[in-house]
Each structure stands twice: as structure tokens, then as C-alpha cells.
Structure 1
Amino acid sequence: MSLSSFKFPVSGINKLNLHPTEKKALSAILGYRMINRGDSVIVAVSGGADSVCLLKILYELRKRLNISLTVAHFDHGLRPKEDEKETEFVANLAKRLNLALVCDKATKLTKAPGSSIEEKAREMRYQFFQKAIDENHAQKLALGHNMNDQAETVLMHFLRGTGLTGLSGIPPIRQNCFIRPLIDITRDEIHTYLKQNGASFIIDSSNRETSYLRNKIRLELLPILLDYQPKLVEHLGELAFLSRQETQFIDEEAKKALKKIISNSSKHSLELSLATFNNLSCSIQYRIIRQAIEKIKGNLRKIDIRHIKSIINLVNSDKPQAKANLPENIIVKKIYNMLRFSLGDMIKTDNFSYSINNLGRFQIHEINKTISFTEISKDDFMLSAHSPEEAFLDLDKLKWPLRARNFRTGDKFIPLGINGFKKVKDIFIDNKVPSEERKKIPILVSHDDIVWVYGIRIDDRYKIKQETKRILRCKVE
């Protein structure tokens, strides 16, 4: 199980001469194995109570943990007067503690289409964090999320509709880099700690705005629920912890299953075998879909249960081929016994047609393949392995020039071993050739007759017979 979801038991902390809140933070640091001895840790400090508490606790524990600290502050530029005051406050705090300070300011924070200012602010903040980590050669970056943040996150996910993953809330460790030492500490404990230590902090006025759902939960919903259950914050924190462990177990099982059913994979495309997928339990199927999307997209933002269900419905549909469009240009296609996840639609192949006037080797640029024509003897024909990439035709029945082209609507021929014409489209369907792949298949034409559909069948009228005198070997590679 991932260390980010499991908390190891830690003994002996209660005997240490530390403040109770410092002991809780140390227990989280050691229990979740957030920090290694000798680590360089960047502490994200906004100037608010949580981040000031985080910095003070890590400062008190720095020698015990054998770590070095650097303060990082990001000015979003959304509240000009308050932002400047916070930056000055954090700079003075770092100076008093004799700690290095790295700062940056958002030049222009505007939301991208389909996103919010909050999302853009978060994106820029984490870009700054990553830059601070890289430039300072740090191993970890500490964030001030606490148990109340955890409770609010779980409630917010619950109200929006969620499963175990959403109930897991905020992870104590993310990407083995971002750590949250205060995750088991309540906001009341943080304020008590700061008061007892005479530590000041800045109050962010935007935290009082109920236009944001998180603030609305914090200021309006939680106080009502706490009247029913005073320990609700702790209970929701415990729920997140248990959900996280169970989620991690299911995810790891799904990861093992996903490896077994991937039939093809590239940077922007992933194909799964439905024959195996359909035999898996529903919970594993759901996780595999999430993991497949994450592999292609890089994250799961804007992906919710509706999208997962739409893919499950796609899989269970009677249609042999169907498509689902997900946010941010993720396309999921059911193609017979295969499920393809891709970033955008596959590039369509243009129509092509090449005149073949003689034997030799010719390039088909549109599909990056070559087709060659050689005359062979009957003895060589009898010794040939007859692979799907090649065809053997009665050369005397062919009319030059031949033409190598791709599929056209209405194409038909007499497949080998069948009496009467059959549409090439029906042959494709019978052979479960995906719609977007059909234009990539070369078709060889003599006069007006289709004589070979590459990889599938030759025309029965051009097959090699006992009386055949000359044989044409066609090969695509």
C-alpha cells in the first residue's frame, strides 16, 4: 500500500517536551513518513493562521527532524492592499526566524474558458511551488491544510456527489513531495497554539465571502452540523483516512488489472481488451476507467461519476462501435472488442489512389507503407508462407495499369470462397475493422475490379488455379 495513505504507528512522542499540537504534527510527519532526515523543506506561508502555525511548528521541530527550512510566499494579486500587507508580514516573519524567503507575484490572473479564478490561482500557485522546489533543490514543500479543511473538502465532495475517492479528501502526501503536517490538527487547536505562543497572523477577508462553496460550508453548514455532532470534524477526518486506505487498496488492484488488459498504448492513446474488462468487478472497472483517463489526460480534473457511467454504458451498449466525448477533448470509443481512450480524435486518412504501371516497389505516403509487385514461379508460390500482408494473383487475368487506393463508399467484390458480390464495408464489419481504420487499408484494383483488400481477402476471380501460368505476388509493408 502507498505510504501516502497509510499511517504507521509512532511511539514515544508523548514523552517528549513538546506542545500537544507540536506532538500531533510530529506524529503525522513520522506516521505518514512525510520527511526524511536531512531534507530541505519549503514552507508555503500565506500569512494566515494555518500557515503561520505550520511554520512555527516546523521551526520548533527542525533540529529534532534534522531539516532545513525555506519560506515561500505567493501573491495572487487579487486583493492589492491586503496582498501587499501579507507579503510584508511573511517577509518580516522569515527575517525574525532567520530563514530564507522566496516570493513571487501573479502578473495577471484571468480565468481560462471553462475554469474559475480559483482554479487559475491554484494552478499558478502550484507552478510557483514547483519552481521554488527546483530552484532551491528542496525535497519537500509543506502546506497548511488542517483537519477542518479536510472535513470541509469531504462535505463539499459529498454535496457535489462522490464515491470513495471523493470521501478520501485531502491526501497527507501528494506526489511524494507536497506534505501536510497539520492534517490531523483542528482549526481550534491551531488558534489555541498561536494564542499560547503569542504568534500573530493575517486574516484573509475573502474567507468571509459566502459566494464560494467552501466558505459557505465553513461559515453556514458546519456550525449547524456541529450542533448535532460536536466531534463532526474529527469524524469526517477519520472517514477521509479510512476511505483513503480502502481507495488505495482498490486502486492498486485496478492498476494490476489495467496492465493485463492494455492491448496497445502510446502517449495520447490507450486501448483495452473488453473481453477481459467485462469479466472484472464493477468497482475495478470504475477504477480502471479513471486510471485510463488519467494516463491520457494527466489528471482527473472535470471528470466525475457521470463520465465514468457514460463509459460503462458505452461498454454495455449493443452497438459494436460507439463514442463518448469527455471534457478537455478526451474521446472514448468502443470498437468491437476494444475500448480506446484518446486525446482528441484520431487523424483522418485522406483519400489516395496510385497508378501502378509495372512491377516494382511503390510508396503510399498517406499511410506510410510500401506496396511491392513481383512475378514468382509456381514452385515459389507453393513454398510461400502466405501471410496477411501479401496476396497471390493470376497475373494473366490482371489488366494494367493496376491501382492502389483506399476504401470508397459502394465498393464491392467477390471474396475468395464466396459466390456472389459482397460490399467491402460488410467485410470490414465482419472482420471488426474500426471505422477510422478502414481508410488506411490499401485496396488493389484491376480495371474496375477490386482484386485484393489488404489483410483480409483477394477476389475469387483472380485466385491461383491449376491452369494458372503466371503469378503476381503483392506485398504491403
Structure 2
Amino acid sequence: MAHSSIVLKMEEQVHRHIKTRNLLSSGDRIVVAVSGGPDSVALLACLVALSTRWNWGLSIGHVNHGLRGAESEGDADFVEQLGSHFGVPVNVQEVRLKKQDAKLAKQSFQAFARKARYHALENMVMESGASKIATGHTADDQAETVLMWMLRGSGTGGLGGIPPKRGDFIVRPLLDIPRNDIMAYLAERQLTYRMDSSNSQPMYLRNRLRQDLMPHLKVYSPGIVHILSRQAEIIREDHAYLEHVAAKAFQQACVSEDERGIQLDRTVLLSWPMAIRRRVVRHGLQKIDGNMQSPRFDMIKRVLDGVEQGQSGWTMQINAVDVGQEYDRLVFSKRETIPLNNLSASPLREIGVESPGEIVWPPTGQRLAVAKQYDQTITSQPHSLMMNIDAA
């Protein structure tokens, strides 16, 4: 059966996107992540159509968290049928999650589930001997992601949005394709799909952006999806360059780096523009803390304010890192924590408190927010504590 211009156009767009961004190579064995939704079904159909040209070996990976009961089971059954329709083997893995585990990991449940899903897909790659995971992120997903990071006040790292490829395995062949084209492609090929009921729930920010904000933005700028996607690409490339420059600046400023910590030359650090200084400080904090998520902007600003004032002897705590200035050196060191079973033997220590402010409680490493309240009414808000503290 001859394909229509809609079908051929989209498949050629995907082919071009894969080739120009070097996402996949001839002969690759690919795990296609298929949820059963329209984007992933379109991705699978496109890759199957292009597989002869590229000599790919395809398999389908589906992760069932069971979060939506019968609906989740229906998704898994649908994906099995989809594999039979296209003649592609299917691997369905059940990964049950608990909300308590997400809380312990200090992540939203959505982020926790996403991480578990990618972990399961990477296991499929290892087990099957595949080389890539293809996901169905579209240009609309990119636009929504940029808006989310914009509303959070993100820097270039977040405003760069979703990269076309991440790590050794993950590629996103549909990232340049708007959702309208996806739906037209599915209709033309008479392909069915599943709808995730959680995608309509307003409790999630992305859903509210998709349902409420994006339609308003399209009134003012009909091409907003393309514009935000293009902006993400520009910022992502700028971010990569700035990170490259910052890595060189870090090496120039670094006086010592060992198990005791990191020391940076204050004068060398201040010789760089502010955009690079921020990145150098962030890099130092991340190397000591081991947490690759970026420290908040206000934390980095506090460190640089101290550096610019130039007075030796100041110290502060940023998460699990002690930061301070010793003469002309900016010093980062791992904050010592006392095991809970040793609390009774720990000596009393004096901790400086600013209000409003934030401190790290030495025995446990927990972060405590501190604020003054003059209202004598005692409230019973969860995770809150009121105490009387004498002024120094």
C-alpha cells in the first residue's frame, strides 16, 4: 500500500533528524520505549518503516509501574499486541514503586518513577545486547519543559530543555516533530494508541502548562512550540560552551584537590566573568558533595558574595559542604556528620544562626530553615517546630 505525503514527510523528517544529529548508526540494535501513548506508537511505526534502510534490529521495551491499576495492565496488553502487529519482540517489565521510597530519595514521585523507568530500560539494553534506547519525546514536550524550567527560574542548564541524546544509550528521534504532526501521522496510518488518564490531572505542573498556558501562548505566537524548541537548542549549545570554559577556569584557579577538599585561588577566580565564576563554584560544591544536581542560585551567590568582599575567615555551610576563605584561598571541604548512634558521645557545639536563613544540623546533615515569628499563637503545621531562643 502506497503511503501518503503526510506519512512520507514525517518519516523523512525523522530520518534527517537521526542523521544530522548522529543519533543512530546503521546496524544498531534499538530498544524502543513504548508506553502505548500516541508519541511512542508513532516512534515505533517510524523506526519500523526506516529499519530496512538503516539495517536496525528493533525490540520494544515497556515498563509497567501498575500505578493506574487495570489501566496500566491494559497498556501492557496493548503494547504486546502492538509488537505482534509490527513483528517486533516485546519486553515488559513490572517495576512497582512506593511513594515512601521517593520521599526517602528526596524526589517527587514522578521524578522517582521516571528514574526507575530509565533504569529498567537500560537493563533491557544490557540484557538484549542492544546499543540504544529510543524515546518518543516530541517538540511539544521540549516546549513544555523549557516553560517549566523558565517558571522555576532556571539557568542555561535547565533552559536548554531535553537533549536529543543523553548518556551512552538514550536518543530522541521525534524531538523536532510537533504533536500535531504525530497525530496526523497516526490517523493516516490508522494506528490506535492508549491515553494515560494521569496526563489530564491538573495536579501536575506539566499538565497545567499543556492544558492552560500553551493554548494562550499560541494565540499570541502560533509557532510557539517551534520557537521554544529552537530557543532550547541555542541555549543548550551556549551552555555546553560555557561549561567547557568553566572547566578550564576551574583548573586554572584550583590550587589543590585531595581527600581533604578543594582550594581555589581567589584572585584567579575573580578574574573570570560572573557567568564563569558561578559555574566554577557550582563545580567545586558538586565535586565535594557528590550530588550532581545543581546547587541553588542563592547558595552560589552567598559564596561569591563572601569571595568578593575579600575578608579572610568567613565560613558557611552549603548542603553537606563547608565553604570558607582562608587568606587568598576559597576552601571547599566535606562536612563531617556524626552517626546517630554516637550522638550521646558528641561534644556540644556552637552553631551560628541567621534569621531568616538555613543551617545544616551537624549530627545528621539535615537542613533546617530558620525564621523569626512574633505571633505568640502556636500552630501545628507538619514538619515545623517553634522554640524560644535567647538573643546573643
The bucket for the TM-score relative to the shorter chain is 0.7 to 0.9
- State how 1:263-302 maps to structure 2 within 5 Å: 263-266=255-258, 269-298=261-290, 300-301=292-293
2:221 alignment counterpart: 229
Q: Which residue of 2 aligns with 1:257?
A: 249
Residue number in structure 2 paired with 1:118: 110
Of residues 337, 351, 372 in structure 1, which corresponds to 2:328?
Answer: 337
Question: Per-residue deviation at 1:342?
Answer: 4.3
- How far does the alpha carbon of each residue in 1:172-205 deviate from its partner, in whole angstroms, 9 at most, with x for none? 1111421111110101111111111111110000
Q: Cα RMSD between the aligned structures?
A: 2.4
Q: Which residue of 2 aligns with 1:202?
A: 194
Match of 1:186 in 2: 178
Amino acid across the alignment from 1:140? K
- Compute the TM-score of the two structures, normalised by the length of structure 2: 0.78
Contact (CA 8 Å) 1:144, 1:181: kept in 2 or not? yes
Say yes or no: does 1:64 pair with 2:63: no
**What is the correspondence of 1:25-424 to structure 2 with a 5 Å cutoff?**
25-110=14-99, 111-113=102-104, 114-266=106-258, 269-298=261-290, 300-301=292-293, 303-327=295-319, 329-345=320-336
Counterpart of 1:118, as a letter, is Q
Q: Work out the CA distance in 2 between the residues paired with 1:217 and 1:184.
A: 19
Output one character per residue of 1:233-275: Cα deviation in whole Å (capped at 9) or x when no partner: 1100110011111111111111122223233334784433323
Structure number with the higher strand fraction is 1
Secondary structure of 2:103 counterpart: coil
Read off the aligned partner of 1:274 and give its amino acid letter: R
Most deviating of 201-210 and 172-181? 172-181
Question: Counterpart in 2 of 1:405?
Answer: none
| Residues 268 and 296 in structure 1, CA contact (< 8 A), matched pair in contact too | no
Runs of 5+ in structure 2 lacking a partner? 339-392
Q: Across the two proteins, how many residue pairs are aligned to each other? A: 332
Q: Given that residues 136 and 173 in structure 2 are in contact (C-alpha distance below 8 angstroms), is that contact kept between their aligned partners in structure 1?
A: yes
8 Å CA contact 1:109–1:121 kept in 2: the answer is no
Secondary structure of 1:321's aligned partner: coil
Shifted more, 133-142 versus 205-214: the winner is 133-142
The residue number in structure 2 matching 1:21 is 10
List gaps (5 residues or longer) in structure 1. Answer: 1-15, 348-477
> Kindly tell me: are residues 109 and 267 of structure 1, through their superposed partners in 2, closer, same or farther at Cα, counting changes over 3 Å?
farther
Letter in 2 for 1:116: S
Q: Percent identity?
A: 32
> What is the CA–CA distance in structure 1 between the aligned matches of 2:122 and 2:257, rounded to whole Å?
29
SS in 2 for 1:19: helix
Contact 2:7–2:185 at 8 Å: present in 1 too?
no
The answer (yes or no) to whether the contact 1:293–1:300 under 8 Å persists in 2 is no
Q: Which has the higher helix share?
A: 2
